[in-house]
Each structure stands twice: as C-alpha cells, then as structure tokens.
Structure 1
Amino acid sequence: MSSTPSAFPWRFSPWKYTCATVASKTKTYFCSTCGCCIGGCNDTWTISTSIFDANRDDEGIWLYNSHMLPHSAPDGGLAAVFSEIDGLPLKTDDLGGRALPDVSLPKELQSNQSELRAECHCGGVSFTIARPSEEFIASPESKGWLSDVDKSKWLACMDVCDDCRLVTGTNVIAWMFVARDHIMPRLPKDLCIGTAKSYQSTEGVNRVFCGDCGATVFFSWDKRPNIVDVSMGILRAPEGAMAENWSVWRAGRPSWPEDGLRYHAGFSRALIEGMKRWGAERGHPQEFQIP
C-alpha cells in the first residue's frame, strides 16, 4: 500500500532501532526491541503510516492512493481483495517497471505439496510447515483449529488489532494458526530459531521477529501453548500471498475490527468488505471462532 500525508505536525522521539539493507539497496529501519518497522530510505524516506497516534479527529492525515507491486505476488495479495478506499480508486504502482530483486529460494528449499517453506527476507529465520497429520486431525487437540471446509489446511485470518499494528508497523497483518509440532526444525520454548528475537508485548504473549531484517515471524499465547500464529508474510507459497493451497480463511471479519475501524475506518472498511467478497468467491467460510 502507498499513501500520501496531508498536513501533519511531524515530530519524532528517540528510537532504539536497527537497520537492514535489503537486496534493492534500501535501508529499512525497525525497533530492535519489538521489531516494529519504522520505514526505509533509499534516496527518499518511506515512513510506516501505522505507528502514529490517531483518532477519529485525525481523519484525512493519510490518503491511500495505490497498491504497490501487487504483481510481485501471483495472486495479487490485497490488491485482489479491495481496489478502493472511501470511494477513491487505488492505482497499482509497479515503480515504473523497475526490476525487482530476485528473492526466490533455491529449488531444493522451495515449498511443495507436503511442506510449506517459511523464510524471512535475509534468510536468518527459516523453517517448514507440514500439513495437519492424521494423528492431529483425529486428536482432541485439533478441536477448533481445523475447518470442515478442508482439514488438510490450516486456519488463517486478517488482524487489525492495535498491538499487532504497533509491533509490525502495518495496518493489517495476516496469521496462519499452526500446531507447533508440525513445524521443523522443532521450536524451542521461546520460539527463537536462527536470528530470531522475542518480545513480550503483554503478560503471557510472546512475539518473535528476525533480529537482522525485522520480519515478523511468530505470535504465541500461554493459554494455547500447542498452537503458534505464523506471519503469512514470510510464507513462500508459490500460489501467492494468501497461500490458499495451505489455508482456510475467515473471510467475514478480521480479528479486533473495532481497533482497525477506530484507527483508520476507511482502510478497515475496505478490508472487511473486500475480504467478504473475496472469500465468498473463493469458497472460504465467512466465520469461525479462533479458540
């Protein structure tokens, strides 16, 4: 997504941050404690629009005008879900046709029908996800975590809660809910593998991000220790960002819609209405409860 700021009293407090240079030579900055993406700089700054304090009196601070690089995902990502916000059409911005860096994995590491690869931008955090096993499907532990639509896939949903917004630097994040013992290599208690770092955002909640490139990786909650939320942004599904060959989406609503509607009503309405249409067209359920 791309947005344009209207009049805004810019003021920055000191940040404890780190910097990663990605393949396009853009330096990206993120909080070294919680992993929140602050923005990036090549010749000009690109600032995350989701880390600013805002309320209903601040409507109009950000004017969303385009989906950036939707063709980098074969399924179009969010550009396939909604194409306007508050009645204003969104362009698709391919950055002037500039060639994108090749971040494809070696063939032997790519996803297949039995394993889904997850890997952050720098490769410091890398693992595979297996499909729900027959043992898991038959066990009481699977109750609520699989859909009758297709038990060979994991549940997924969009999330617009304030906490996720402030620790990812995005207005919306997508999660896939996976049984921990279906992830290889086996995860330690703190979920930190490779270059991962952890952050306790609230009591009993552990969030994990790559300490080198800042990518969001995991969310876990002590009340459901056998399930881990995997950030869908690091999934290397060949079909695209929605990873439909592996996921059953809750299309009718994101998690914590009241937070998203308070922070940016136009964006959240477009997401909610777009997901309802997209899900109905693609055969995803409108509703299920996440245990």
Structure 2
Amino acid sequence: MASPESPPTKTLTASCHCHSIQFSIALPTSSLPLKIHLCHCTICRYVHGAPCCFHTPLPDGVDLDFIAPSSKDKLTSYTHPSFRSRKWFCSTCGCHIGDSSLTGEVSWTISTAIYDANREEEGIWKFNSHMCPGSTGDGGLSGVFGSVDGVELRMWDVDLPAVDSGTSSTTASVPVKDKPALQDGNASDNPDTPADPDEKLLAQCHCGDVSFHISRPSPEFLTSPASSTWLSPIDKTRWLASLDLCDDCRLVTGTNVIGWMFVPVDHITPALPSNLLVGSSKAYRSTEDVVRTFCGTCGATVFYWCKERPEIVDVATGLLRAPEGVMAEKWAVWRSGRLAWPENGLRYHEGFARALIDGMKVWGKERGHAEEFVVP
C-alpha cells in the first residue's frame, strides 16, 4: 500500500552576523504566511536593546536544523523565573534567534529579521500586529506607523502573566532596578524650562547586569566645538538619536530596526573602560574599525563604537528607562526626515521600511524633532 505523500514545505535559511549560527526551517506551505508581531513589551525591548522585537510562532513540531559547523552549542540561553520560554542568542555577536518552550516540546517563536526570505518572496511573512504598545508609555513605534503594505496592524495589548507559552511576549514583566514611574508628556511640554544639569537617565538591560547612567550635556561640552556636531539647535539639553535599518544592525540584534542615541563617552557613569565592557558585556568587532557590545547574560545590544569618532558611543535606545516613554523625547532629538541606511531596509523588506520611513517624517514633524542632521 502506497504511503501518503508528505505535505509540501518551504525551507527558509537564517544566519546571524558572524555566521556562527546558521540554520534552516522547513515550513508546511499550509502555515504560510507567518504572522509577524512587533512586540513592544519591556522584556523584548530590554532583552534586544531595540524599540521592539519582530517575531512569529512556528507551527508545533517545526525545529531548527543547524548547518555545520554551526550548532546549538554556539548559542547562549537566557531565562528568568517569570519566563515561560527560553531565549537564545549567538554567543559571539549577540544576535537573537528566538525563544523555545520550557516544557521540552519542539515549539519555537523565531526572530524574523535574520531570514533570507523577505518581501521579494510573496506569501512568506505578513506583518500582523503591534503587541503590547501600552507598555511603552508613549506608543513607541506603534505611534509612528499603523500599517504595512496597506494592511492595518492590530493593536494588541496582552496581559503578560496570563498568556499561554509560545512567544517571547509570554513572560511576566520583571521589576527594573531604579525604574521610574511613567509620566505624561513629550519633548515640547515645557520648552522654556531648562533641564536639570545634574539629571541622569538610566540605561539597563533586562537582567540588570549591564547598567549605567547618561548625563545631560555639560557646560564644558556646550562651549566646546563638538557641541555644534552632537547637539541640535532645536534643544541643546538633549542628545541626537536616529533609527537604523542597516543589515549589520539587523543581524546583530535580530530586529528589523534599532535606535541609537549618540552620547560622549565622558557623559556616561560609571566611567566607561577603554574596551567599553560594562558588567557582563561582551564585545564583537563587526568590522576592523567597529566594536559592538552586548550583554553576555541576556543578549541585549548596548553600544556601537567606531574608530572615526572614538569620543562618542551610540547607545541602544531600547535600554533607556526614560519616564516619558520608549522614545525618550525629553532626552533625545530624533532625526525624523531620514533613517540610517534606508536602502538596506528597503531591500530587505520594502513594505516595513517604507511604513517606518514615511511614518517617522510625520511623527517627527508633529512632535517637533529634527528633520535632518549629519552623524560623522
């Protein structure tokens, strides 16, 4: 008697930036398109260092097939007593690949930004929702755009402790050291009220092993030549910030976009060592002149540093604990008219990149941010 034919499948391949992790997944074509959720919860932001994470649950039983010499042994896992899934990231470059079930069953929620398939292959992905936008305090990217490829995204706030396991949003919110209470307000609440020069902004990963504070521009910095480069005429009490769509950042974070705030090294406390390693940080040299750091415990992206401007570090904005919300508008002047490396984002997924690019232009104009500035 002839055996029934196996259902047709589609194979997708994934890789981190350093290529230590490479694997494929074989998906039943009946499960496509996979629905992408942009999760804005505190767990996802503080674990990735990004404004949100991009993920989708795989059909039950679909496992990762590692491509030699890659193996699961080259991943670091991270969990917490409140978690209902285990998170995995590359031990070398910090790229998050997804979450697996704690029950031992083959059940994965994958980071969708590291796969070779994108919008060019219609029917693979479908952007479906902004998950947990209420945890951002200000809406985050859910307030920047609401649709992708003409499809309206569902706004989906989840009661995290009560959600079934299977996605990276299925974990209870973890108390944060020194986390301030959320307050109403935006960048232009009190434009005539000077910022407190002694005020500091906490930046901290999810596990808390990487933690530091950012200061306001000092009087010495304000009178230095560097102030004309690294401060905006809009507000010299806030640092410049930009969203980044480059392929390198995508493959070291496992997210389609990351935000950076540009801060002088000497405005960070405790004082940064020359290797930029804070707490449990690890360093990854993505090119000869670029060093990136990430938490070796939970995998959060922390810093980007380049040889061309050694006095400045780019701080991953997903770590910022600003009382006003994820966009940290009382601390950051965002470049809203242009994202970094838009051509990379448009090539990888045109629909998402276009929604973000166009949305930032409108959001920035409404919120009083800079249309343009140049990062050396």
- What's the TM-score once normalised by structure 1's chain length? 0.93
| Candidates 88, 101, 108, aligned match of 2:173 | 101
Q: Measure the CA separation in 1 of the matches of 2:374 and 2:132.
A: 33
Q: Structure 1's 181 and 167: CA in aligned 2 closer, same or farther, altered over 3 A?
A: same
Match of 1:88 in 2: 151
Q: Tell me the percent identity.
A: 56
Deviation at 1:142, TM superposition (A): 2.4
Q: Identify the residue that residue 70 of structure 1 maps to in structure 2.
A: 133
Which string of whole-angstrom CA distances, capped at 9 and with x for unpartnered residues, describes residues 160-216 of structure 1? 000000001000000000000000011111100100000000111000000000000
Query: Given that residues 5 and 62 in structure 1 are in contact (C-alpha distance below 8 angstroms), is that contact kept between their aligned partners in structure 2?
Result: no
Cα root mean square deviation, aligned: 2.5
Secondary structure at 2:347 match in 1: helix
Partner of 2:361: 276
Deviation at 1:4, TM superposition (A): 5.4
* Cα distance in 2 for residues equivalent to 1:3 and 1:25: 16
Q: Is the 8 A contact 1:28 1:39 kept in 2?
A: yes
Q: Is the 8 A contact 2:118 2:124 kept in 1?
A: no
Contact 1:109 1:117 in 2 (8 A): no
Q: Tell me the SS of whatever aligns to 1:19.
A: strand
Which consecutive unaligned segments of at least 5 residues does structure 1 have? Answer: none
Letter matched to residue 273 of structure 1: D
Q: Kindly indicate whether the alpha-carbon contact (under 8 Å) linking 2:209 and 2:295 is maintained by their aligned counterparts in 1.
A: yes
CA contact (8 A) 1:117 1:127 kept: yes
Is contact 1:59-1:264 (8 Å) kept? no
Change (3 A) 1:278 1:108: closer
Structure 2 gap ranges (5+)? 1-37, 39-53, 163-171, 183-194
Q: Name the counterpart of 1:241.
A: 326
Work out whether 1:150 is the aligned partner of 2:235: yes
- Tell me how far 1:258 sits from its aligned partner: 0.1
CA contact under 8 A between 2:118 and 2:125: conserved in structure 1?
no
Q: Does 1:51 align with 2:123?
A: no
CA distance in structure 1 between the aligned counterparts of 2:65 and 2:148, rounded to whole angstroms: 27
Q: For residue 86 of structure 1, report the CA deviation from its aligned partner.
A: 0.9
* Change in CA separation of 1:96 and 1:236 when aligned onto 2, cut-off 3 Å: closer
Number of residue pairs the alignment of both structures matches:
290
Match of 1:224 in 2: 309
* Cα separation, 2, equivalents of 1:98 and 1:46: 17
Q: Retained in 2: the 8 A contact 1:116–1:130?
A: yes
Alpha-carbon separation, structure 2, partners of 1:106 and 1:55: 40
Aligned to 1:34: 93
Given that residues 128 and 183 in structure 1 are in contact (C-alpha distance below 8 angstroms), is that contact kept between their aligned partners in structure 2?
Answer: yes
- Stretch deviating more after TM superposition (20-29 or 265-274): 20-29
Give, in angstroms, the shift of residue 91 of structure 1: 0.5
Greater C-alpha Rg = 2
Asked if 1 retains the 8 angstrom alpha-carbon contact of 2:180 and 2:322, the reply is: no
Q: Indicate conservation of the 8 Å contact 1:160/1:254, yes or no.
A: yes
Q: CA 1:183–1:134 in 2, change beyond 3 Å: closer, same or farther?
A: same
Equivalent residue number for residue 267 of structure 2: 182
Give, in angstroms, the shift of residue 256 of structure 1. 0.3
What's the counterpart of residue 11 of structure 2? none
The correspondence for 2:142, drawn from 66, 71, 79, is 79
Q: Which has the higher mean CA deviation after the structures are superposed, 157-166 or 23-32?
A: 23-32
Following the alignment from structure 1 to structure 2, what is the Cα–Cα distance between the partners of residues 141 and 105?
Answer: 33
CA distance in 1: counterparts of 2:350 and 2:56, whole angstroms: 16
Kindly state the Cα deviation for residue 62 of structure 1 after the two structures are TM-superposed.
1.3
Report the Cα distance in structure 2 between the residues aligned to 1:94 and 1:108, rounded to whole angstroms. Answer: 21
CA distance in 1, matches of 2:123, 2:178: 44
Deviations 1:89-130, CA, capped at 9 Å, x for gaps: 0002223564642433246999x9510000100000000000
